[in-house]
C-alpha cells in the first residue's frame, strides 16, 4: 500500500486539540465539554441493536457536524507486523465490510510497538467530505465487532473537524462520545437527543 505523508497542519491541529500527536481515548476524556450517548445497550436482539446504533449514530453525526464541510477520519489498528507486514489485518477486514478508500487518500500517522511481541499500533488519517455514508461501514464494523455480527473489523475510529473543534467517537455498540470546545455544539446535541444521554 502506497501511503501519503500527513500534512503538517494536521499534526499541529492534533497537538493543539489533544496536547500530543497521538490519538487515545484518554485524550478524548480530557476534552471538555463532552457528552456520552447510549446507543444499543437496551436491546437484546443483535440485529435490532445494530440498527439502532446506526440510526442514532447518523442522527448525532448529522447534527454535530451540521456546519462542517470536511472531516478527518482517524483509524487505529493493532496488528502482527510479521504476519501482516504491508497492511494491518483489521484494515483488510474493514475493507471487506464495505469501506472504500483510495490509496492516495490514506496518510500514515503512526506505527508504534506495543508490549506484545510483534504487535504494532497503526494510525491512519483520511480526509473526506462530511457525508455519513463515508463513515457508515466503519461504524458498522465497530458496533458489530462486540456482538458477533459478520463481517466485522476490530479498530478504533475518531471523526474530527479541527476547524469546528468537534470530535465524534463511537467506542462500541454501547456508547458514543461527542467532544467539542464549542459549548453550543454540545448543548444543541444534548438538548436534541437528551433521552439518549448516558446516565
Select, from the ranges 25-29, 85-89, 107-111, the one with the highest average predicted confidence (pLDDT). Answer: 85-89
pTM (2 decimals)? Answer: 0.89
What is the biggest distance separating any 2 CA atoms in the chain, rounded to whole angstroms?
A: 48
- Model confidence over 95-128: pLDDT tens digits? 999 999 888 888 887 788 888 888 888 889 899 9
Q: DSSP per residue over 65-94, as a string? A: TTT-SEEEEEEEEEEETTT-SSS-HHHHHH
Amino acid at each position: 500500500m502506497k501511503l501519503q505523508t500527513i500534512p503538517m497542519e494536521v499534526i499541529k491541529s492534533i497537538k493543539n486539540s489533544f496536547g500530543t500527536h497521538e490519538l487515545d481515548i484518554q485524550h478524548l476524556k480530557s476534552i471538555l465539554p463532552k457528552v456520552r450517548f447510549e446507543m444499543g445497550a437496551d436491546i437484546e436482539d443483535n440485529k435490532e441493536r445494530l440498527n439502532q446504533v446506526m440510526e442514532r449514530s447518523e442522527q448525532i453525526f448529522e447534527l454535530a457536524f451540521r456546519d462542517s464541510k470536511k472531516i478527518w477520519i482517524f483509524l487505529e489498528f493493532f496488528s502482527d507486523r510479521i504476519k501482516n507486514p504491508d497492511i494491518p489485518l483489521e484494515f483488510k477486514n474493514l475493507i471487506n465490510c464495505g469501506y472504500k478508500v483510495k490509496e492516495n487518500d490514506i496518510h500514515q500517522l503512526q506505527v508504534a510497538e506495543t508490549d506484545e511481541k510483534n504487535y504494532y499500533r497503526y494510525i491512519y488519517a483520511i480526509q473526506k467530505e462530511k457525508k455519513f455514508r463515508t463513515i457508515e461501514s466503519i461504524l458498522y464494523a465497530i458496533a458489530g465487532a462486540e456482538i458477533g455480527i459478520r463481517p466485522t473489523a476490530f479498530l478504533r475510529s475518531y471523526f474530527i473537524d479541527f476547524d469546528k473543534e468537534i470530535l465524534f467517537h463511537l467506542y462500541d455498540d454501547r456508547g458514543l462520545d461527542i467532544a467539542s470546545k464549542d459549548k453550543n455544539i454540545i448543548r444543541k446535541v444534548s438538548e436534541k437527543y437528551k433521552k439518549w444521554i448516558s446516565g
